[in-house]
């Protein structure tokens, strides 16, 4: 399968490196286009892929076309590529946030079936630990969706998900790395407040959160059972948990997720 990318920024580069390292695709079967010509040429040379100067050439060559562009430019990209896509019929894969499969299809103004798969990845794909939701439109076959799930499993973990749940996924996986970074930084700042240098505090907090995520991922227990294991009667952890809950820690996190979902739904309507 020949795979083309329109847009070769950080996310696209992470996907390409992942699928090559995991053997999902061979470098010579990957075609890259980006307006930053020098950057894409250097990256293509590094991994052994093709850097292409014309997006139309990518579309004419590949079986699967991944649109790795920002939501604010995807319509323009599709309009420019419209004729080539209708003529060559590649599988269209979009990773543009807040852009539905219906919105993508509507750009073409045609009755011709177009296979479209929408993916919501997150930035952790850049370290091979991404989380991605995948859905296809009515024209996309189950095999198309499965293929793209396998592709994104090469840079983390991917799940099939009905498109109506994508705003929720955006909040709990797409945006949540930012909330996690905020949490880690808050832990480190608390350590600084109590006398520990920031650099070592941040390193320690990051490792603690990383290890906690790994522990939960490999455990069959629910989070509260693990919390109980850390908490000794009358101990330090219980004191901290009670203080966090006195200040509405859980409900505050939920409110943040709710706000993210609402915003994503608003952007989708636009």
Tokens 């390193």, located at residue: 203
What is the full per-residue pLDDT of the chain (270 aa) written as tens digits? Answer: 999 999 999 999 999 999 999 999 999 999 999 999 999 999 999 999 999 999 999 999 999 999 999 988 999 999 999 999 999 999 999 999 889 999 999 999 999 999 999 999 999 998 999 999 999 999 999 999 999 999 999 999 999 999 999 999 999 999 999 999 999 999 999 999 999 999 999 999 999 999 999 999 999 999 999 999 999 999 999 999 999 999 999 999 999 999 999 998 888 777
pTM of the model: 0.90
Q: In this structure, what DSSP letter does residue 173 have? A: I
Residue-wise over 3-36: b if at least 16 C-beta within 10 A, else e?
Answer: bbbbbbbebbbbbbbbbbeeebbeeebbbbbbee
Tokens 């979902």, located at residue: 261
Q: Helices then strands (H, E): number in the chain?
A: 12, 8
Q: Count Cβ atoms below 10 Å from residue 240 Cβ, excluding itself.
A: 12
Q: How far is the C-alpha of 166 from the C-alpha of 264, rounded, in Å?
A: 9
Tokens 């997150």, located at residue: 122
Give the C-alpha distances (Å, rounded to integers) separating 175 from 85, 121, 172, 181, 232: 31, 10, 6, 11, 33
Spatial CA neighbour of 182 closest among 246, 249, 115, 109: 249
Spatial CA neighbour of 91 closest among 50, 51, 137, 130: 137
Q: How far is the C-alpha of 23 from the C-alpha of 1, rounded, in Å?
A: 12
- pLDDT of the residue at 93: 98
- pLDDT of the residue at 268: 77
- pLDDT of the residue at 97: 87
């Amino acid at each position: 399968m020949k795979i083309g990318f329109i847009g070769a920024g950080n996310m696209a580069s992470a996907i390409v490196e992942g699928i090559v390292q995991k053997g999902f695709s061979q470098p010579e079967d990957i075609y890259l286009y980006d307006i930053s010509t020098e950057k894409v040429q250097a990256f293509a040379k590094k991994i052994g892929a093709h850097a292409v100067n014309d997006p139309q050439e990518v579309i004419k060559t590949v079986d699967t076309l991944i649109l790795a562009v920002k939501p604010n430019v995807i319509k323009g990209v599709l309009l420019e590529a419209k004729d080539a896509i209708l003529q060559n019929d590649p599988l269209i894969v979009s990773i543009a946030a807040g852009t539905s499969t219906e919105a993508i299809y509507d750009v073409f103004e045609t009755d011709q079936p177009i296979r479209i798969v929408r993916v919501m990845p997150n930035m952790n794909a850049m370290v091979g630990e991404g989380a991605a939701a995948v859905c296809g439109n009515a024209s996309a076959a189950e095999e198309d969706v499965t293929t793209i799930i396998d592709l994104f499993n090469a840079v983390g973990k991917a799940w099939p998900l009905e498109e109506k749940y994508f705003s929720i996924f955006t909040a709990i996986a797409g945006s949540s790395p930012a909330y996690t970074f905020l949490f880690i930084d808050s832990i480190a700042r608390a350590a600084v407040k109590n006398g520990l240098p920031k650099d070592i505090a941040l390193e320690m907090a990051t490792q603690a959160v990383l290890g906690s995520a790994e522990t939960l991922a490999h455990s069959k227990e629910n989070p509260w059972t693990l919390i109980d294991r850390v908490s000794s009667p009358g101990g330090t952890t219980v004191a901290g948990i009670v203080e966090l809950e006195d200040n509405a820690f859980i409900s505050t996190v939920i409110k943040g997720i709710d706000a993210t979902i609402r915003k994503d739904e608003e952007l989708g309507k636009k």
